[in-house]
Amino acid sequence: MDDLFGDQPGDTGRREELAAGAVVLRGRALPADALLSALDAVVAAAPFRNMVTPGGFTMSVAMTNCGAAGWVTDRRGYRYDAVDPESGRPWPDMPKPFLELACAAAAEAGYPDFVPDACLINRYQPGARLSLHQDRNERDYDQPIVSVSLGLPAMFQFGGLERSDPVRKVPLRHGDVVVWGGPSRLFYHGIPVLKDGEHPAVGRVRFNLTFRKAL
């Protein structure tokens, strides 16, 4: 695989400014063993599923949630719900390693008061993608988004307040954390088609943990 996307331990600890209020914290989630173990427990209770958009499109990215609320989409629209619609049970509690990482990364990025109540977990397999979008279903836009990359590398697209704004392309590797808020909170972002590969920790997959203050 292209060296641009390979894990580079020497990058760990480096901070990269993306825009006003937005940073990449390279390797901030490493080592990731505790996160991956906690992820397994969440998925055992609330398995991944490919949700359907209000327009009837089945998403290529599989999703699940943990925390007090979970992000869902179906024919009725996009929303947060305290109950997993497939099981009828509350979403699994947010694991301690998830919460600790999200709060610490947000504080390092300049958001010391961030305490997430929702974590949307995306599973990308080769060929999956997430088109440019804004995170607009949360009640308080003063709270940032914390996004953790695990597994296969991906190219993160980070644009502006309009879909037509220029898009910056940022390679993300296993353990990288992106935090955006303030002036960048509603910037468009996405992941183009995930390339095939094999990661020693998770195999042919990329996981993305996206922490929000939803309620």
Alpha carbon distances (Å) from 207 to 73, 100, 179, 190: 19, 18, 16, 14
Question: What pLDDT was estimated at residue 12?
Answer: 77
Taking all residues of the chain, what is their mean pLDDT, rounded to a whole number? 95
The single-letter DSSP state of residue 104 is H
CB half-sphere exposure, 202, CA atoms < 13 A: 26
Token pair belonging to 89? 């049970």
pLDDT band of 8, cuts 50, 70, 90: low
CA 149 to chain CA centroid, nearest Å? 7
Question: Which fold would CATH assign to domain 3-212?
Answer: Jelly Rolls (2.60.120)
Tell me the average pLDDT across 7-32.
Answer: 88
> Which is more confident, 6 or 80?
80
Contacts of 214 (CB under 8 A, 6+ apart): 67, 68, 69, 71, 80, 117, 118, 137, 138, 139
pLDDT digits (tens, 9 = 90+) for 128-180: 999 999 999 999 999 999 999 999 999 999 999 999 999 999 999 999 999 99
Q: Assess contact for 118 and 211: CB atoms under 8 A.
A: yes
Pairwise CA distance, residues 107 & 114, whole Å: 7
Query: Percentage of residues in the chain with pLDDT exceeding 70?
Result: 95
Pairwise CA distance, residues 5 & 142, whole Å: 32
pLDDT band of 6, cuts 50, 70, 90: very low
Query: Percentage of residues in the chain with pLDDT exceeding 90?
Result: 94
pLDDT band of 9, cuts 50, 70, 90: low
Give the three-class secondary structure for 35: helix
Give the three-class secondary structure for 109: coil
pLDDT band of 65, cuts 50, 70, 90: very high
Question: What pLDDT was estimated at residue 195?
Answer: 98
Prior bond of 171 cis (ω within 30°)? no
- The residue extents of the domains of the chain are 3-212
213 Rama sector, left if φ>0, alpha if ψ -120 to 50, beta otherwise? beta
pLDDT digits (tens, 9 = 90+) for 124-138: 999 999 999 999 999
Question: What pLDDT was estimated at residue 11?
Answer: 74
pLDDT band of 2, cuts 50, 70, 90: very low
For the question of whether the overall pTM of this predicted structure is more than 0.85, the answer is yes
